[in-house]
């Protein structure tokens, strides 16, 4: 997992300009229209949200019925990987070439304003649009599962038994190119109406972050096996991303 990229680096009012190599091109699907100043097409920001977010939500439509399903994900370079059972309706439908949208959101704080109307949250979200393909090559599938495992806990892959050929066959992995993407971010204090500033009510931000408790050993674990550092100090200062 990658260390946090300061969101304020990307939040200044967006100016209309041609995308650079550091930005994704804006499309009809990715252009942020509601509060566009919070939108960003910066590759580093979008990659950082995908790398730090634990769960992605996959949106797709089958026979006119929309579905949004949470799933684990991992990024390797310019591709996003998800996995599951070959019997999964979601994976089978997506592997058929339908359009999908993967959304990853990180909540950074509760924004408490002086009025109910202006309450909000500070957040970072990224959306990736496109069509995915099934990964058949055993080497690519193994690399994807490595990334998915280390996305949860960096360094875990080196300690565990890696998948057998039978387990690889029993696992479906999908690859989604990160070609069409955008981010939306809110930072900072509440934005109250001027006439509400005199209300004697506390206003500000309650920061939020995911924290880990003490590791709980498996009941069948040998007592002499100690929890590794990455379990004792999750997420840990030395975490790295496989993304680039």
pLDDT digits (tens, 9 = 90+) for 68-110: 999 999 999 999 999 999 999 899 999 999 999 999 999 999 9
- 3-class DSSP state of 82: strand
Kindly state whether residue 1 falls inside one of the protein's structural domains.
no
**Domain at 115, CATH number:** 2.30.110.10
CA distance 38 to 81: 27
pLDDT for residue 157 is more than 50? yes
Kindly state whether residue 58 falls inside one of the protein's structural domains.
yes
pLDDT digit string, tens, across residues 228-242: 999 999 986 434 444
pLDDT above 70 covers a percentage of the chain that reads 88
How many domains does one find in the chain? 1
Kindly state whether residue 241 falls inside one of the protein's structural domains.
no
Kindly state whether residue 2 falls inside one of the protein's structural domains.
no
Task: Give pLDDT, residue 81.
Answer: 98
CA distance 31 to 41: 9
Mean pLDDT of the chain: 89
Please give the residue range of the domain that contains residue 21.
7-232
Kind of pairing between the strands at 74-76 and 79-84:
antiparallel
Kindly state whether residue 243 falls inside one of the protein's structural domains.
no
CA distance 158 to 33: 44
Kindly state whether residue 203 falls inside one of the protein's structural domains.
yes
Kindly state whether residue 162 falls inside one of the protein's structural domains.
yes
Kindly state whether residue 221 falls inside one of the protein's structural domains.
yes
- Burial status of residue 237 (CB atoms within 10 A of its CB: 0-12, 13-18, 19 or more): exposed
Q: Tell me the whole-structure pTM to 2 decimals.
A: 0.86
193 neighbors 142 (Cβ within 8 angstroms): no
């Amino acid at each position: 997992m990658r260390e946090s990229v300061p969101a304020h680096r990307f939040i200044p009012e967006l100016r209309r300009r041609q995308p650079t190599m550091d930005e994704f091109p804006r499309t009809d699907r990715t252009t942020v229209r509601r509060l566009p100043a919070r939108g960003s097409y910066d590759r580093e920001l979008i990659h950082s949200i995908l790398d730090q977010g634990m769960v992605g939500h996959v949106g797709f439509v089958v026979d006119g019925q929309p579905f949004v399903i949470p799933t684990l994900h991992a990024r390797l370079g310019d591709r996003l990987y998800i996995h599951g059972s070959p019997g999964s309706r979601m994976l089978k439908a997506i592997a058929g070439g339908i359009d999908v949208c993967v959304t990853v959101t990180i909540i950074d704080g509760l924004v408490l304003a002086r009025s109910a109307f202006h309450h909000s949250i500070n957040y970072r979200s990224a959306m990736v649009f496109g069509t995915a393909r099934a990964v058949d090559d055993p080497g690519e599938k193994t690399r994807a599962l490595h990334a998915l495992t280390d996305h949860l806990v960096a360094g875990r892959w080196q300690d565990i038994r890696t998948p057998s050929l039978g387990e690889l066959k029993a696992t479906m992995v999908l690859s989604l190119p990160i070609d069409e993407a955008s981010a939306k971010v809110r930072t900072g204090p509440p934005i109250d109406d001027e006439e509400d500033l005199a209300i004697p009510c506390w206003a500000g931000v309650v920061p939020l972050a995911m924290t880990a408790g003490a590791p709980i050993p498996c009941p069948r674990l040998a007592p002499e096996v100690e929890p590794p550092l990455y379990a004792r100090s999750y997420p840990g200062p030395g975490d790295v991303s496989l993304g680039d």
